[in-house]
Structure 1
Amino acid sequence: MWLDDDMLVFRDHLEAHARWHHVVDHFVVLGDKRFVEPSEVGIHPLGAAPDGSAALTPEQVRAAVANGAIADLWDWETSDPHTWVEEIWAQTDDLATAGTGAFVSLVGATVSMTRALHDAAGGPMRHLRLGEDTVFGHQVAEAGAVLLPDHAARSWHLGLSHAMRHADQVKAHNQPLFAHLVPSLRPRRVQHGRSWAVPFVEVVVPSDAPHLQVQACVDSLLDQDMDDHVVVLVGEWSLLDEGRVRPLADEHFDLRWLQRMYRDEARVELREPTDPVVTGFSRSPLRLRLTGTELAPARATLRLLVTDLDRTQQGLRVLTGDDGEVVARLERTAAFARTQWYDVPTGPEGAGQRDEMVAASHGSSTRPATDAGFVPAERRLRPRFGVWREAAMDPDASWRRLQRQMARNAPVLTPEPGAEPGAEPGAEPGAEPGADEVSTTPARPAARPEPASPTTPVARESRMGRRLGRVVRRLRD
């Protein structure tokens, strides 16, 4: 049970909390509160009123709680509610329809849960100075909790909360904290090209295939247009050591090759099949589990799959191949973690029962993997960086080439303050570009000329030139 030290609870407050935990062991009960000015009824932090008037003693306050008179010290209907929290409760039928976002209404002033749920969620992060209740709310939600407001658990909050008094500073302080530790608050991490302490998606990939096939699949996952994920490559890595080995006769060649390829890649984790990261519930809100590496995802696959599951709020999406076999499973951690609170086997023998429970509580559907962009791994085209291998170029000519290339890749700028919608960056409001002005918008590339017929002299000469260039580069290398 959590109660802030500036809370004054009604006589039956604890009873209202406790009665739920006798029914369901994974409930999180949220109490109700009103914000009041304590000095209005003679309650003062230092025990004496500044003007010398009589103050309520701790003994008198305790007696008022015991006999129920505490409920009448202020008027409940006219006192200030926790507005944004109560709006969420009202809009979602007391969180019954809140879906995956219910946890945001957990604030630490009056909360209770069982010790078992507390431990399953890992407990609050005690090193946090602010925002620890929201972070812990996310933790208990990912552990399968059901959040329940009980309006009978009433209390007075003496004075405004810290967040109310210093809203802007608290918001600024919590921004990086929530971005790293609460992946479900996705608006906090909209920047591209970033990685976070807790990734939004965890992708589990087996390594029991030829190394080039596994590489094609893993590299396709790293080549996603969504950055907020980590790849867990599962293999018997403990079989590998630094002892002497014949490199070309290594019985673990594929596994060792993959280890050397990915052990220093920050977005890939090498895990044993028995590692809790693999066998337990995911640390991320979503887990994509691949059954093999024969098929690899398109560049937009992960982003679109995640968006699809978020739109539906379902707990499981199963992707199958043309033969009906499972290719991948996208699992919602909170949905599968909730099954641990019921009498379901935890090992593989309980997998089917867990799927049925998730389908009943959150929903599930099976779709073709090809619809989600899965293609044969060896045919999945992945972009490669070009490398300059010609003779040294004149610096001025090289810079002119950079300018031409930059014109085709110009950065997109936000409008300048006061600019009209649609105006070019840097233009005066209402001004039209003159004949001597150069637009900052990249020009549309000219249409490509029709390719020459393979039988024409020009085409033959072009092919010969390319072949000659390749021969020269090979000799030089």
Structure 2
Amino acid sequence: MPKQFTVNPELTQVVYKNQWRDVFDGTVPEGWEPTLKVSVVTPAFNSKTLDLTLASLAAQDYPEDLLEVIVIDDGSEPAVEIGKYAPKNTRLIRVDEAAGEGWGRSNGLHIGIEASDGDIIYWVDSDMILFSDNVREHAKWAHFIPEAATIGHKGFVEEWDFTPEQVFEEVRSDEIRKHHDLATLHRHWSLDVFAETDDLNSSGGRNYSTHMGACATVTRSVYARTYGQRPELKLGDDTEIAYQIWQRGAVFIPASSAQTYHLGRATVQDKGREVAHFNDVHFAQKMPIPRYRRSANNRQWEVPYVTAVVKVDVGTAELARRCVDMLLNQTETDLEVVLVGPWSALETGRRRVLADPAVELHLLQEWYRCEGRVRMVEDDPDDVFPSPYRLDVPATVGIGSRGVEKIMRSVYGEDLGRVSYFAPADSHTDEAVRVTSSAALARAHRYVGSTVTETEALEAAWGVEWRSNAGLGFVDLRTAEPVEKIRREDGPITEERLQKARRRAANQAKRAEEAEARVAELENIRLRTVVRRELGRAARRTRGA
């Protein structure tokens, strides 16, 4: 009989990958009112339309006590002044470049966000006119999906003669919508992406670049886990912060009902090629996905595609040298190795070096002292953010030169959350090689607790699997022959080799039994996930009835 279980109620509202519709389709319950505070952060540099943006914010139907606006004057001449029409809770922060406070949009946003305290961060450029329900239509998503990152809908208006008073009155009365039919204005490229991905529902978050800062939000709980806005970026900062929040578990949602006018042409209409040429270099350094950005091979990048974590101690230090050498010899070169070991505990004073019990750790440290792709740390990192994938490799396991490439081809290609590969035939089954998606782990961690295991949360958020290591060239380094012997032609079949083959066959049979037990356990977890989703859908149908 199948194993009996109880569906964990704490996982019924987890968004699977980016399938936000399964949790909340945007329809709020009757009588719903917002409770989360929104912090609008607006950078301005010699803006001629800021007064119009503030006037539209002042006319929002969102509770004014739950709305703050922070305007960042990035060195405007003349200096920015807040006019008559602005929200009650509006603050002005001036950035003094001469005092070393930096300059640029991303720098200003960093300062503004740090000064804000809302539950929801809302990036709004100073050339936007927001319709009256815009803030509400953005903010509602965060009330039902804790990781919500919304993208508003904007129409590009090339000519206008609005005044602040007119904008305030017409936004409040909703007459502002009658000036232009958004469907007839310039069609932004993001709309094509939404059409191809069922409004990002099927994207897995990989279309994060649609999350553009002219009118986009994210919950502070997600943003707070990132490095924040990068002050050094002068263009493309909205794409980079979108990548960061994706890796921290954001759920990307096109809020098509949160509508605006963008006063002026889209930058890509006039300078698309120049902007792309400038941004591509910066994007390649900081964002390993999409993979086409890194057109150069055998390079070391600021953010590695794969971060391999190898834990070592006195007993495994000698094996770890070969383990790491095999990782550095992979055909997948976009890889960094983190060696976790007791480095600070190594004795450096006068001693009998050959009799030092930690001699192999000393040798390992020296072996990689000048290797740029190896970092030595004391503690196992909680995650490898912003690197999108963590590869855990036991120090006792070697991976064939094409192994990581093959692993990532399936893990990335199938958008898997966590995949564990059985260790070599002669190893113990608890020494698995494991790949974990940073985005999946960040989503899952919100739900891990006393009643929810990490495996359960990962399965609910992205899925977990066990797979064979066939074709990956796994080697048990404790029993493997030296490298020079492995490369020699096979000799005659001896009794010793036959005995070794029999032992391997027996080990494989034992591992097969253990694998069947693990698969049964994982099938049970997967069944629970299916039931969880069906219960969630049923609950939403009940609420909507």
Same fold (TM over 0.5): yes
Q: 1:37 to 1:333 in 2, by over 3 A?
A: same
Work out whether residues 262 and 268 of structure 1, in 8 Å CA contact, stay in contact via their aligned partners in 2.
yes
Match of 2:389 in 1: 286
1:299 aligns with 2:401: yes
1:158 aligns with 2:260: no
1:246 aligns with 2:352: yes
> CA–CA distance in 2 between the matches of 1:229 and 1:6?
41
SS at match of 1:369: coil
Code of the residue aligned with 1:113 in structure 2: it is: V
* Residue among 151, 168, 171 paired with 1:30: 151
1:32 Cα deviation from its structure 2 partner: 0.7
1:63 aligns with 2:169: yes
Match of 1:214 in 2: 320
SS at match of 1:226: coil
> CA–CA distance in 1 between the matches of 2:208 and 2:373?
28
SS at match of 2:336: strand
Deviation per residue, 1:392-432 (Å, 9 max, x gap): xxxxxxxxxxxxxxxxxxxxxxxxxxxxxxxxxxxxxxxxx
> CA–CA distance in 2 between the matches of 1:215 and 1:226?
19
> CA–CA distance in 2 between the matches of 1:340 and 1:363?
14
Q: 1:241 to 1:71 in 2, by over 3 A?
A: farther
Work out whether residues 149 and 250 of structure 2, in 8 Å CA contact, stay in contact via their aligned partners in 1.
yes
> CA–CA distance in 2 between the matches of 1:326 and 1:207?
13
1:12 aligns with 2:133: yes
Q: 1:245 to 1:100 in 2, by over 3 A?
A: farther
> CA–CA distance in 2 between the matches of 1:11 and 1:382?
73
SS at match of 1:325: coil
> CA–CA distance in 2 between the matches of 1:28 and 1:124?
15
1:373 aligns with 2:373: no
1:225 Cα deviation from its structure 2 partner: 1.0
> CA–CA distance in 1 between the matches of 2:153 and 2:123?
13
1:337 aligns with 2:442: yes
1:256 aligns with 2:362: yes
Aligned counterparts, 1:36-435, within 5 A: 36-39=157-160, 42=161, 56-82=162-188, 84-208=189-313, 209-273=315-379, 278-290=381-393, 292-321=394-423, 322=425, 323-342=428-447, 344-345=448-449, 353-377=453-477, 378-379=480-481, 381=483
1:161 Cα deviation from its structure 2 partner: 2.1
Code of the residue aligned with 2:417 in structure 1: it is: G
Code of the residue aligned with 2:125 in structure 1: it is: D
> CA–CA distance in 2 between the matches of 1:297 and 1:329?
12
SS at match of 1:248: helix
Work out whether residues 205 and 252 of structure 2, in 8 Å CA contact, stay in contact via their aligned partners in 1.
no
TM-score by length of 2: 0.63
Work out whether residues 383 and 438 of structure 2, in 8 Å CA contact, stay in contact via their aligned partners in 1.
no
1:369 Cα deviation from its structure 2 partner: 2.7
SS at match of 2:170: helix
SS at match of 1:150: strand
> CA–CA distance in 1 between the matches of 2:148 and 2:460?
18
1:380 Cα deviation from its structure 2 partner: 7.4
Code of the residue aligned with 2:272 in structure 1: it is: A
> CA–CA distance in 1 between the matches of 2:279 and 2:456?
38
TM-score by length of 1: 0.72
Bigger CA radius of gyration? 1
> CA–CA distance in 1 between the matches of 2:226 and 2:441?
14
When structure 1 is superposed on structure 2, of 265-274 and 166-175 the one drifting more is: 265-274
> CA–CA distance in 2 between the matches of 1:10 and 1:381?
68
Q: 1:186 to 1:179 in 2, by over 3 A?
A: same
> CA–CA distance in 1 between the matches of 2:295 and 2:274?
21
Name structure 1 gaps, 5 residues minimum: 43-55, 384-477
Code of the residue aligned with 2:319 in structure 1: it is: Q
Q: Which has the higher contact order (CA 8 A, sep 6+)?
A: 2
Work out whether residues 296 and 380 of structure 1, in 8 Å CA contact, stay in contact via their aligned partners in 2.
no
SS at match of 1:153: strand
Work out whether residues 235 and 271 of structure 1, in 8 Å CA contact, stay in contact via their aligned partners in 2.
yes
Code of the residue aligned with 1:328 in structure 2: it is: V
Work out whether residues 318 and 330 of structure 1, in 8 Å CA contact, stay in contact via their aligned partners in 2.
yes
SS at match of 1:233: strand
> CA–CA distance in 2 between the matches of 1:86 and 1:382?
57
Q: 1:57 to 1:7 in 2, by over 3 A?
A: same
Root-mean-square deviation (CA), in Å?
Answer: 2.1
Work out whether residues 4 and 110 of structure 1, in 8 Å CA contact, stay in contact via their aligned partners in 2.
yes
Q: 1:37 to 1:382 in 2, by over 3 A?
A: farther
> CA–CA distance in 1 between the matches of 2:467 and 2:292?
28
Q: 1:223 to 1:91 in 2, by over 3 A?
A: same
> CA–CA distance in 2 between the matches of 1:380 and 1:156?
68
1:376 Cα deviation from its structure 2 partner: 2.8
SS at match of 1:203: strand
Work out whether residues 298 and 380 of structure 1, in 8 Å CA contact, stay in contact via their aligned partners in 2.
no
Q: 1:130 to 1:380 in 2, by over 3 A?
A: farther
Q: 1:380 to 1:175 in 2, by over 3 A?
A: farther
Work out whether residues 319 and 326 of structure 1, in 8 Å CA contact, stay in contact via their aligned partners in 2.
no
Work out whether residues 222 and 248 of structure 2, in 8 Å CA contact, stay in contact via their aligned partners in 1.
yes
Code of the residue aligned with 2:144 in structure 1: it is: V
SS at match of 1:120: coil
Name structure 2 gaps, 5 residues minimum: 1-121, 486-545
> CA–CA distance in 1 between the matches of 2:207 and 2:459?
20
Deviation per residue, 1:273-306 (Å, 9 max, x gap): 25xxx1235331011012x222200000111101
1:360 Cα deviation from its structure 2 partner: 2.9
> CA–CA distance in 2 between the matches of 1:174 and 1:361?
32
Q: 1:380 to 1:279 in 2, by over 3 A?
A: farther
Work out the percentage of aligned pairs sharing the same amino acid.
32
> CA–CA distance in 1 between the matches of 2:284 and 2:484?
30
> CA–CA distance in 2 between the matches of 1:118 and 1:159?
29
Code of the residue aligned with 2:166 in structure 1: it is: Q
Code of the residue aligned with 2:382 in structure 1: it is: T
